[in-house]
Amino acid sequence: MHGGAGTIRRSDLDAERENSYREKLTEALVAGSGVLKKNGSALDAVEMAVRFLEDCPLFNAGRGSVFAHDGRQEMDAAIMCGRTLNAGAVALIPSVRNPVTLARRILEHSPHVFLAAEGALEFARSQGVELEASDYFFDQFRYDQWQSALRQNAIFIDHSSDKYGTVGAVALDRHGNLAAATSTGGVTNKRFGRIGDSPLVGSGTYANNLTCAVSCTGYGEYFIRGVVAYDLSCLMEYAGLNLNEAARKVIWEKQLALGGDGGLIAVDAQGGIVLEFNSEGMYRAWEQEGAAPQTAIFREG
Ligand code: ASP
């Protein structure tokens, strides 16, 4: 799992805050891996883990999402199944408590893959997806961040502040199936219907049983241009790179060359994992069968 990547400095993070992040990431991880331990599907596991962080205001997804220029909180999310290559994605949706669950409903109950804004909300209502009033999503820290972005006429990628971040999960289940999910409020002060990489299949989220499951976090515009998640999978499928080599290539060579900063988490069909980032830190947590859950934030983490 990841909880966002960026300029996370030790000096910005006191022990108490660091512990809260680690605690929440671990709880989400344990919820997701609990599904896998009961022989559940990777798809259920990633949805469960992401839902957990969407409900936690510490992260920029669901409750506690960043504010857009017009003062609204609009969220993006995607989920993908590596066995079938089915996917569901949503963008620019207010009011939905768990955008990842709406994405899952699209995957299962819609002939389409990607729904946005008002139409996506209409679909959510037709599916009985849980909705909340706007004050449910409010978070004072995010509000202040937005006010400061407005004053500076700037767009803040969540990375350059001391509160993170987009969330994502990848999993391999006991049946050999992979899945990935990503959920975000996007960037503070976003305008004009801006959508990042997170809900774009192949950019921020991708899963394919032949290769790997991937969830990205970082400066979305660069991750879109790099088609990062699919590129990672392609480097494995067509160029024969292993997961580590492929992750290092996309994050350290290709993203850096473009100017993109951030990271990704991925698991391959053999259960190998990578948590690669070129930013100062990335909130992350992982668990492999038979071993205890682990968390890290900084590079040496
Ligand atoms: N990638 C996300 C976006 O650009 C932001 C993030 O990962 O924090 O919307």
Ranges of each domain in the chain: 2-298
The structure's pTM equals 0.95
Q: What is the whole-number distance in angstroms between the Cα of residue 42 and the centre of ligand 1?
A: 23
Per-residue pLDDT of the chain (301 residues; tens, 9 = 90+): 999 998 777 777 888 889 999 999 999 999 999 999 999 999 999 999 999 999 999 999 999 999 999 999 999 999 999 999 999 999 999 999 999 999 999 999 999 999 999 999 999 999 999 999 999 999 998 899 899 888 888 777 655 554 458 999 999 999 999 999 999 999 999 999 999 999 999 999 999 999 999 999 999 999 999 999 999 999 999 999 999 999 999 999 999 999 999 999 999 999 999 999 999 899 999 999 999 999 999 987 5
Q: Quote the tokens at residue 4.
A: 């966002």
**Exposed (0-12), middle (13-18) or buried (19+): which is 193, by Cβ within 10 Å?**
exposed
* Protein fold of 2-298: Glutamine Phosphoribosylpyrophosphate, subunit 1, domain 1 (3.60.20)
Q: Which atom of ligand 1 is nearest to the CA of 262?
A: 7
For residue 26, give the DSSP letter: H
Does ligand 1 lie within 6 Å of residue 3's CB atom?
no
Residue 103, number of CB atoms within 10 A of its CB:
33
Does ligand 1 lie within 6 Å of residue 185's CB atom?
no
